[in-house]
Amino acid sequence: MRRQRRELQEASLSFLDVISCGFGAVVLLLVIGKVGDPSVLEEAERQVLGTVKEFQERLFEIRGETVVLDEQLKSREQQLSDMRERIARLQAKLASVAKQSSQLSESQFKEKERLQLALQILTEEMERLLGPEFRQQNKLIGGIPADSNYIIFVIDNSGSMQSYSWDRLKIEMLNILDIYPEVKGLQVLNCNGSFMFQANRGQWLEDSSTIREAIIKKLDNWYAVCDSNPASGVLKAIRSFYRSDRNISIYILGDDFQGRFVRPVVRMVDKLNRANRGSDRLVRVHAIGFPLPAYFPPKGTVSPQAIKFANLMRELSYNNGGTFIGLNSLN
């Protein structure tokens, strides 16, 4: 009896072993295998793959932007370096110019002191030789008589003058005005007799620093018609402003003469500006000629218009107690 029970126990244990192994295998298969709905799993996998791909593309974009920004940074750094070098060069030039300016100012100051000393010595010598009561009869500055208290400018404002000589004309007008620190009246006409300030035509402009600045400023937008023949402007100036108690100087500024003949203009001015007595004229007539580059080619013949202008200005200034200055350069 005991032997039979032992055989039954061994058979039961073997059966349990088999069952346990089988159950373990099933559990292992469930763990290893995919659990759940296959379509849901595939969708989740696609989403994960899409997200990974999106992140990869963004990563590539960021890397590309990084390269571009890197290149831009290098370019900006190079530009900054160039600008620093340029600033250093300009600072060096500025220091050099400042030094030269200081030296020039010192030289001019010393030269002015020497001139003042020479003038003082000359004045003392003149008083010794001529006496303290001597007074110079004619006031000449740079060869131009500066004895007038009324000034009239007759300006050729034609296209050639405004295109080439306008900046130099402003300088010369300032130089002329500097000769006369204070006058009783000013006026400006163009060669055809058109007044620069129409509201004051036929009237004197009262001299002041404001009026002088306004005249120079007005030159920048003064477009009255001018035919490059100063006869009308000169005659109108004399007729409009001459009085026996006024010392008037007319300054003609131009570059050419487009009239046919010089002699008729000279005769008209001579007839109107005839002397009251002796050799004096009613007004002085001065002139400044500006060399238009096209009229004075480096290797060629001087323009007939420029030659006629020079002849006319020489005759008018000589006959009317003035001075003609022909500039040899616009610089």
For the segment 236-245, the average pLDDT, to the nearest whole number, is: 89
Q: pLDDT for 18-33, tens place per residue?
A: 676 766 676 666 656 5
Instruction: Say whether pLDDT at 17 is over 70.
Output: no
Q: pLDDT for 52-67, tens place per residue?
A: 778 778 888 888 888 8
Against a cut of 0.75, is the pTM above it?
no
What pLDDT is recorded for position 131?
62
What pLDDT is recorded for position 142?
47
What pLDDT is recorded for position 283?
87
E strands, the chain, in order: 140-141, 144-145, 150-155, 185-190, 248-254, 283-289, 324-326
What pLDDT is recorded for position 105?
79
Contact between 233 and 188 (Cβ < 8 Å): no
Characterize the bridge pairing of strands 144-145 and 150-155: unpaired
Question: What's the token pair of residue 131?
Answer: 């006496």
- Cα 267 to its chain centre, rounded Å, is 44
For the segment 244-248, the average pLDDT, to the nearest whole number, is: 86
| Long-range CB contacts (within 8 A, 24+) of 211-215 | 211/186, 212/177, 212/186, 215/153, 215/173, 215/186, 215/188
Q: pLDDT for 188-229, tens place per residue?
A: 999 999 999 999 988 999 999 999 999 999 999 988 888 888
Q: pLDDT for 137-196, tens place per residue?
A: 445 444 566 678 899 999 999 988 888 889 999 999 998 888 888 899 999 999 999 999
Question: What's the token pair of residue 96?
Answer: 């050099």
- Give residue 186's region: left, alpha or beta (phi > 0; psi -120 to 50): beta
What pLDDT is recorded for position 321?
85
What pLDDT is recorded for position 205?
94
Angle, helices 263-272 vs 304-319, to 10°: value is 20
pLDDT more than 90, % of the chain: 23
